């Protein structure tokens, strides 16, 4: 019997055997001795640090690879303009405080005494003007003075009376002091200057760039002399705590994985060393296996992303490092 005649009959059998073998290999790879094995890469978060203010960089204080702590000074801007703004705002606040204090204190006793003395002088001048007018009227009846002199006497009385009334009102205002509306306006102006001072002080403080959290300087992007702004990152800060391994679980194994499940992580960089971890996240949606994941399974298989958070006290797990994850399949969720 020729091969051409036999091949069509045995080809389906070979295909079935191949599928069975693939399934067995896949199961062996993912489930061994009560453990689930997956492959992924170490992942971390990154922060782009930037100045909140705009200006020219004066100092850069750390390099790539330096470990930094939260609040540590990383870089400094030229603060000349911001220092001048603070000094101006401080002067405005001091001036307005004196103005408010003056209004609240009211008129000084000396000012009130002066106003009263001026009023008494005006009243005396009015009395004298009235007496002169009376005498002039008497003389005018006997035709001893002209009509013009009589009119001048009357005008002098009116002027003295008006001046007396003005000084009387001035004396009353001096006694009462500033109006409450004027005091409120002065206080509001003081609050405005104080807010301007606070803003100027914050802008001056923003000339210093500090680390927002613990981490490692991954990239030093700008240098002294560069112009910095909130839109221009100065450093890239890698947050090495926590780190996790991003792996992918087939749908058939999804029911065996749960959050909090214990894990062991191994890398090629440190053969034989095991890092403890736990499952911290399971994706609620499926996706196609990313091409960078090195598995022997079909890359078109739908999988679910999981994150295994790892203990990394010596900072040996680095971004992008390939890793093998072993999960205990029969571990209780209560553990």
Q: What is the pLDDT of residues 226-252, one digit of tens each?
A: 999 999 999 999 888 788 899 988 888
* pLDDT at 323 > cutoff 50: yes
Question: How confident is the model over 181-208, as a mean pLDDT?
Answer: 92
| Letter string b/e over residues 110-142, b meaning 16 or more CB atoms within 10 A of that residue's CB | eeeeebbebbeebbebbeebeebbeebeeebee
Predicted local confidence at residue 289, as pLDDT:
63
Predicted local confidence at residue 15, as pLDDT:
47
Question: How confident is the model over 158-182, as a mean pLDDT?
Answer: 72
* pLDDT at 202 > cutoff 90: yes
Question: How confident is the model over 122-144, as a mean pLDDT?
Answer: 73
User: 168 vs 92, which has greater pLDDT?
Assistant: 92
Q: Identify which of 65-79, 235-249, 256-270 has the greatest average pLDDT.
A: 65-79
* pLDDT at 6 > cutoff 90: no
> Which residue ranges make up each domain of the chain?
48-78+207-236, 85-202
User: 88 vs 135, which has greater pLDDT?
Assistant: 88
CA 86 to chain centre: 20
Predicted local confidence at residue 80, as pLDDT:
95
User: 234 vs 118, which has greater pLDDT?
Assistant: 234
* CATH class of the domain at 48-78+207-236: mainly beta
Least confident of 56-70, 75-89, 116-130: 116-130
What is the model's pTM? 0.60
* pLDDT at 208 > cutoff 80: yes
Band the pLDDT of 210: cuts 50, 70, 90.
Answer: very high
Predicted local confidence at residue 33, as pLDDT:
52
The beta strands (E) that lie in 78-213 are given as 208-210
Q: Identify which of 27-41, 57-71, 93-107, 128-142 has the greatest average pLDDT.
A: 57-71
Predicted local confidence at residue 221, as pLDDT:
95
Instruction: Work out whether the CA dihedral 40, 19, 25, 281 comes out positive or negative.
Output: positive
Coil, helix or strand for 49? strand
Q: Which residues contact 131 (CB under 8 A, 6 or more apart)?
A: none
Residues 186/100, Cβ–Cβ less than 8 Å? yes
User: 317 vs 105, which has greater pLDDT?
Assistant: 317
| Letter string b/e over residues 244-267, b meaning 16 or more CB atoms within 10 A of that residue's CB | bbbbbbbeebeebbeeebebbbbb
Predicted local confidence at residue 110, as pLDDT:
67
Residues 257/329, Cβ–Cβ less than 8 Å? no
* pLDDT at 268 > cutoff 70: yes
Beta bridge partners of 250: 303
Query: How far apart are the C-alpha atoms of 14 and 244, rounded to whole Å?
Result: 42
Band the pLDDT of 177: cuts 50, 70, 90.
Answer: low
Predicted local confidence at residue 120, as pLDDT:
74
């Amino acid at each position: 019997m020729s091969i051409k005649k036999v091949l069509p009959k045995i080809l389906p059998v070979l295909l079935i055997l191949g599928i069975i073998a693939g399934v067995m290999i896949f199961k062996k790879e993912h489930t061994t001795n009560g453990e689930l094995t997956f492959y992924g890469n170490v992942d971390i978060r990154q922060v782009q640090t930037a100045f909140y203010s705009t200006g020219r960089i004066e100092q850069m204080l750390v390099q790539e690879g330096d470990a930094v702590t939260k609040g540590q000074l990383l870089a400094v801007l030229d603060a000349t303009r911001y220092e001048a703004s603070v000094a101006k705002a401080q002067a405005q606040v001091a001036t307005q405080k004196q103005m408010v204090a003056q209004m609240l204190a009211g008129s000084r006793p000396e000012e009130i005494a002066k106003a009263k003395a001026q009023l008494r002088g005006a009243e005396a001048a009015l009395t004298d003007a009235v007496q002169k007018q009376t005498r002039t009227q008497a003389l005018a009846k006997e035709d001893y003075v002209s009509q013009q002199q009589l009119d001048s006497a009357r005008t002098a009385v009116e002027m003295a009376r008006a001046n007396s009334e003005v000084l009387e009102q001035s004396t009353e205002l001096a006694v009462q002091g500033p109006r409450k509306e004027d005091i409120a306006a002065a206080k509001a102006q003081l609050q405005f200057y104080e807010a301007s001072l606070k803003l100027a002080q914050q802008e001056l403080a923003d000339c210093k760039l500090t680390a927002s959290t613990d981490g490692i300087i991954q990239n030093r992007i700008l240098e002294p002399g560069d112009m910095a702004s909130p839109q221009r990152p100065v450093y890239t800060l890698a947050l090495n705590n926590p780190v996790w391994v991003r792996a992918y679980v087939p749908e058939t194994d999804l029911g065996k994985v749960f959050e909090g499940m214990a894990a062991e992580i191994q890398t090629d960089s440190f053969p034989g060393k095991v890092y403890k971890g736990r499952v911290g996240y399971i994706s609620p949606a499926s996706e196609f296996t990313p091409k960078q994941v090195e598995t022997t399974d079909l890359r078109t298989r739908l999988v679910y992303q999981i994150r295994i958070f790892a203990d990394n006290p010596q900072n040996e797990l680095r971004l992008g490092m390939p890793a093998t994850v072993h999960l205990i399949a029969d571990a209780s969720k209560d553990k």
